[in-house]
Structure 1
Amino acid sequence: MRPSPRLVAALAVLPLVLAACGGGGSSGTPAAPPSIADASADNRPVKAGGTLNVALSADPDALDPSISTTLVGREVFANMCEKLFDIDAQSSLVPQLASALPEVSGDGKEVTVKLREGVKFNDGTAFDAEAVKKSLDRHRTWEKSARQADLAAVSKVSVVDSTTVKLTLTQAFTPLTAQLADRAGMIMSPKALDANSDNFGASPVCVGPFKFASRTSGSQIVLEKAPDYYDAAKVKLDKLVYKIIVDPNVRAANLKSGDVQVGDNLATTTVKGVQSDPNLKVVSGGGLGYYGITINTGNADGSTEKPGTVNTALAKSPQLREAFELALDRDVINKTVYNGLHEVDCFPVPVDSPYRAKDLQCPARDLAKAKQLVQASGVQTPVPVTLTSPNDATNVRLAQVIQQMTKEAGFNVSVQTAEFVSTLEQGKSGKFDVLLNGWSGRVDPDGNLTNLITSRGSNNYSGMSDPGIDDPIKQAAAESDPAKRAELYAGALKKAAEVRGVLYLYHNKYYLGMSKNVAGVQYFKDGLPRFVTAGFTA
């Protein structure tokens, strides 16, 4: 169904208005999507030394792997806190601090992990099985930990010997290796944990090519080359300086001026301009995650608490939630807000995932039906909705497009903006009506689902709680057959699509701008720039 001429006319004005407010950025024809392979294939020789200045799109939350929840935090961790496992350029799971992929018992309830030998933390403390146990136990049992759901299947971590740990599970849990390839698998210095306890994030110490040096809140994070790193010879840079530059136009301008040599998460409206600069290039990553509209359906007292009653029109009426979705045109949103550079979808599992059923279909915009549902709901029109958005220019533009589209169906959306981290706090606490937010994505679909749409998950900001969602996701995690897992996930996703606690809009593509004299950057589908082999060309 085509959008109405009035809507197209209204949306056509938005990029011009916002460009005027934000200092420019939008251009005519969409940029050509860069290739993910571009970065990892650039293995030109680099010289030793130098400081790489990297622009981050937001200020990370606490640099504590147990409690961090942000993508920008994961970007910093990628160069400072290694994990038991990682992913490679093909999104395959590979050992990192482990020396091999795990050995799993026949019933799936015992997982043995062999560790690298001769490794030290960045404070010189020895890395061994005791240290691994200490971190894993903190991740899974500390009351403040956001990793509890990631490791919920683990009932016990045992030290077999200095280079071996055994994880005992309550049930088979196929996604465990993938979980240990993210923050749940980051191992922290036991010395630093003992010294700083709950305040570990103020001065984090892990195993990594770079070590934490300093942080100025809202301004920058400085990492220095780690002399104790087990593979220090391949690390060429002396220092990484992450500069917090929220405005996407300013990020692009800093790249062009040379004040930063790498800019993360380029706004899609600035990609073409960066690509056209002869001194710069753009590479892409991401695609595992998603962005969307979270509707508070039951998060009355916090995402990890028992769902309660939320007294908003959308929370109380499934009809209105359906109408709200049918008022949206995802293709138009992608073209208008993102220059067509994201991948439109209405489910949280990527289209090319082996765990994605082929029969999952997205609804097209149907304004007539949306209007009918609004009228049938019995709620006085226009229906009031408060939309909370991060305050960067791109999210504000998205919020205004949603506002305009849903107005035609009978909704009156008011937009409230806040700092990115503040919007996450509102999401966790349930102090919102509708929220723009996303998830950076994991290679195993469980990482996009369990903690986000099952009952009392820490990132289940909607407060959804339905056995039709919870049960098949739990069953899929215990299943090793990809086809059976895909079938179970399909059932859960169809039910979640009916509940509409989250209206997924697209799978994020991340665009990384960098100076052409920077090489050796690794950039994969998780969207995390790895600088372990990066440097400046000779």
Structure 2
Amino acid sequence: MSSSLTRRSFLGLGAAAGTATLLAACGDGTVAAPGTAGGTLKWGWSSVTSWDPVTSSAGWDVHLLSLVYAGLTKLDEKGNAVPALATGWTYDSAGTTLTFTLRPGLKFSDGTALDADAVKQSLERGRDFPKSLVAAQLANVRSVTAPDATTVVLGLAQPDYQIPNLLAGKTGMIVSPAAIAADAAALATKPVGAGPFTLTSYVQNAKAVLTRNPDYWDAASIKLAGFEAYPLPEPATVVAALQSGQYDVAQIPGGQVEAAKAAGLRVQVIPSLVVAVLDVNITKKPFDDPKVTEALRYAVDRAALLKTAQFGHGEVAYQPFPKGYAGYSNSLEGIYQYDPAKAKQLLAQSSYGTSPVDVVITTAKAEGVPEQLQSQLNAAGFKATIEVIPQAQATQLVYVQHSKALFVDQFAGRDSAVQAFQVLFGKEGLMNPGRQTPPELADALAKVSRTPLDDPTYPSVLQAATAVAVKSMPNVFLYSVPRILARRANVSAIPEFTVVQRFEGVTVS
């Protein structure tokens, strides 16, 4: 039997990386004041596709959903699964039975009891609801039982030690069964969970107003009395909006960092799991020729793209995981360094010979990276053109219809390593438009799922899978995208959580 408290997630930092302090030295060297409950934080961030975690269609939604929902687990600042609604969990020796112990006396924001039966109903809805967008993540959960009010038992079809991490995200957010029974469709705009805040007012794509939930299991850590969330401001106006008090905290682009500092704002550059990537469809010309796909890897000057897109905030990336985390493979460092001469050589060896290879770069915005990428590809033997499509149609055209050969995108990492791999490389993976996964990668991922997170071999098993994926799949990773937050001086430092932004201890004076 293994205790949850000893498990390491795929994000677990090595000892050399040190331990982040939750409320101290958060990026800009300031320390959050302990404070008392009070103040309302106005956050310029994003809108949600749905307040129902089961029907939410964007990974980015998890940041706002985490304000109103809680899961059995949560991820700490390093990405490790730690107790939340559950005080702990254990696996049986076979790795196919996972038992969670709930905190007693839990309540949803509607006042109803959050007990084992409520958890059972919520997880089963995520798995079985016909319109659920998290169902695939729960496919391995054969059964959910509630032998008593504080015990939840998951029966798994096969060993899977990633579940505690998986349940820390949208997949494991617990929804009130009473709200589901009353009007499940209403959850899209009227969420009922057990998170740190309760949504009291919502105007879609305009404003969400939340108040502190006194029944939250960790309410003592929530100092804010209220929270207001707004869509992401325009890059050109975000600094002025912060100065005027329209927002207290907002995400800013790398190009606005110096302007924000000059305006007296505090800036935090928080490492995240977001990475810029080129999605390649190997069923479309010219990438149906493996030599062309390989040439693309060497034709891209990642450092130059990073400077253009992020003004140097971030790091060049050849893989989906950042440095310092268990999934990061040192063997891949610099594997596809910029080499236009090699790219030309590979194209000459392809079925296209020495003629320039036509390729269309599909993007939702031509300026910046796509234009620079076009120039780089043309210098390496391609004949690249840019096609701009509406952002609202991108998912349908690229990932549902699979009609585009090359798409400029970003990948937001997931709570579980295997979940991230499934999205990027699985046969049904959203960001795998070619819908092909080589057998050696499928075998490597299965081995990751079967390896306990506290097994000493886990990091090497995961890193081996990362290496297989990067070498065998066509995705071209470009650079990491940190979460850059600017805040007014009256707001205490924001905790630096890699995966999901949290606000424990934050105060507004």
Does structure 1 retain, via aligned residues, the 8 Å contact 2:362–2:407? yes
Whether 2:244 is the aligned partner of 1:244: answer: no
Does structure 2 retain, via aligned residues, the 8 Å contact 1:80–1:211? yes
Give the letter aligned to residue 466 of structure 2: L
SS at match of 2:370: helix
Does structure 2 retain, via aligned residues, the 8 Å contact 1:80–1:208? yes
Give the letter aligned to residue 283 of structure 1: Q
Q: Tell me the CA shift for residue 467 of structure 1.
A: 1.0
- Structure 1 residues 252, 70: closer, same or farther in 2, change over 3 A? farther
Deviates more, 1:154-163 or 1:336-345: 336-345
- Structure 1 residues 379, 67: closer, same or farther in 2, change over 3 A? farther
Deviates more, 1:233-242 or 1:341-350: 233-242
Whether 2:266 is the aligned partner of 1:275: answer: no
SS at match of 1:313: coil
Whether 2:427 is the aligned partner of 1:438: answer: no
Give the letter aligned to residue 295 of structure 2: A
Identity %: 28
TM-score, normalized by length of structure 2?
Answer: 0.87
Distance in 1, Cα, partners of 2:209 & 2:376: 43
- Structure 1 residues 110, 293: closer, same or farther in 2, change over 3 A? same
Following superposition of structure 1 onto structure 2, how do residues 116-135 of structure 1 map, counting pairs within 5 Å? 116-135=103-122
Whether 2:286 is the aligned partner of 1:313: answer: yes
Whether 2:142 is the aligned partner of 1:155: answer: yes
Whether 2:41 is the aligned partner of 1:52: answer: yes
Does structure 2 retain, via aligned residues, the 8 Å contact 1:36–1:284? no
The 4+ residue runs of structure 1 with deviation greater than 4 A are 230-234, 418-421
Distance in 1, Cα, partners of 2:51 & 2:403: 25
Does structure 1 retain, via aligned residues, the 8 Å contact 2:169–2:415? no
Whether 2:269 is the aligned partner of 1:284: answer: yes
Whether 2:162 is the aligned partner of 1:175: answer: yes
- Structure 1 residues 281, 520: closer, same or farther in 2, change over 3 A? closer
Distance in 2, Cα, partners of 1:39 & 1:47: 22
Q: Tell me the CA shift for residue 331 of structure 1.
A: 1.6
Does structure 2 retain, via aligned residues, the 8 Å contact 1:149–1:451? no
Whether 2:344 is the aligned partner of 1:344: answer: no
SS at match of 1:325: helix
Deviates more, 1:328-337 or 1:47-56: 47-56
Does structure 1 retain, via aligned residues, the 8 Å contact 2:317–2:478? yes
Distance in 2, Cα, partners of 1:508 & 1:483: 30
- Structure 1 residues 140, 435: closer, same or farther in 2, change over 3 A? same
159, 184, 193: which one aligns with 2:171: 184
341, 359, 367: which one aligns with 1:385: 359
Does structure 2 retain, via aligned residues, the 8 Å contact 1:156–1:169? yes
Give the letter aligned to residue 406 of structure 1: L
Q: What do the CA deviations read for 1:333-375 (whole angstroms, capped 9, x no partner)?
A: 2123212211212111332123434322421111112122223
Q: Tell me the CA shift for residue 158 of structure 1.
A: 0.7
Q: What do the CA deviations read for 1:297-334 (whole angstroms, capped 9, x no partner)?
A: 2xxxxxxxxxxxx44322x1111111122110112221
Distance in 1, Cα, partners of 2:146 & 2:28: 39
SS at match of 1:249: coil
Does structure 2 retain, via aligned residues, the 8 Å contact 1:360–1:490? no
Does structure 2 retain, via aligned residues, the 8 Å contact 1:149–1:450? no
Following superposition of structure 1 onto structure 2, how do residues 95-494 of structure 1 map, counting pairs within 5 Å? 95-100=83-88, 102-198=89-185, 200-232=187-219, 234-264=221-251, 266-278=252-264, 280-297=265-282, 310-314=283-287, 316-361=288-333, 362-379=335-352, 381-391=355-365, 396-418=367-389, 420-429=391-400, 430-442=402-414, 444-480=416-452, 482=455, 484-494=457-467
Whether 2:508 is the aligned partner of 1:521: answer: no
- Structure 1 residues 80, 69: closer, same or farther in 2, change over 3 A? same
- Structure 1 residues 139, 479: closer, same or farther in 2, change over 3 A? same
Whether 2:67 is the aligned partner of 1:79: answer: yes
Partner residue, 2:474:
501
- Structure 1 residues 493, 532: closer, same or farther in 2, change over 3 A? closer
- Structure 1 residues 461, 80: closer, same or farther in 2, change over 3 A? farther
Q: Tell me the CA shift for residue 532 of structure 1.
A: 4.4
Whether 2:507 is the aligned partner of 1:535: answer: yes
- Structure 1 residues 85, 390: closer, same or farther in 2, change over 3 A? farther
23, 26, 46: which one aligns with 1:37: 26
Q: Tell me the CA shift for residue 501 of structure 1.
A: 2.7
- Structure 1 residues 267, 233: closer, same or farther in 2, change over 3 A? same
Does structure 1 retain, via aligned residues, the 8 Å contact 2:399–2:430? yes
Give the letter aligned to residue 53 of structure 1: K
Distance in 2, Cα, partners of 1:443 & 1:40: 28
Does structure 2 retain, via aligned residues, the 8 Å contact 1:268–1:339? yes
Q: What do the CA deviations read for 1:93-128 (whole angstroms, capped 9, x no partner)?
A: 21111122x111111111100112212111112111
Whether 2:42 is the aligned partner of 1:70: answer: no
Distance in 2, Cα, partners of 1:444 & 1:229: 25
Give the letter aligned to residue 319 of structure 2: F
Does structure 1 retain, via aligned residues, the 8 Å contact 2:74–2:83? yes
Distance in 1, Cα, partners of 2:488 & 2:59: 23
Q: Tell me the CA shift for residue 412 of structure 1.
A: 3.2
Q: Tell me the CA shift for residue 171 of structure 1.
A: 1.7
77, 80, 100: which one aligns with 1:89: 77
- Structure 1 residues 531, 257: closer, same or farther in 2, change over 3 A? same
Distance in 2, Cα, partners of 1:322 & 1:332: 20
Q: Tell me the CA shift for residue 257 of structure 1.
A: 2.7
Does structure 2 retain, via aligned residues, the 8 Å contact 1:322–1:500? no
SS at match of 2:135: coil
Distance in 2, Cα, partners of 1:42 & 1:418: 44
Does structure 2 retain, via aligned residues, the 8 Å contact 1:323–1:370? yes
Unaligned residue ranges in structure 1 (runs of 5+): 1-34, 298-309
Unaligned residue ranges in structure 2 (runs of 5+): 1-23
Distance in 1, Cα, partners of 2:29 & 2:433: 35
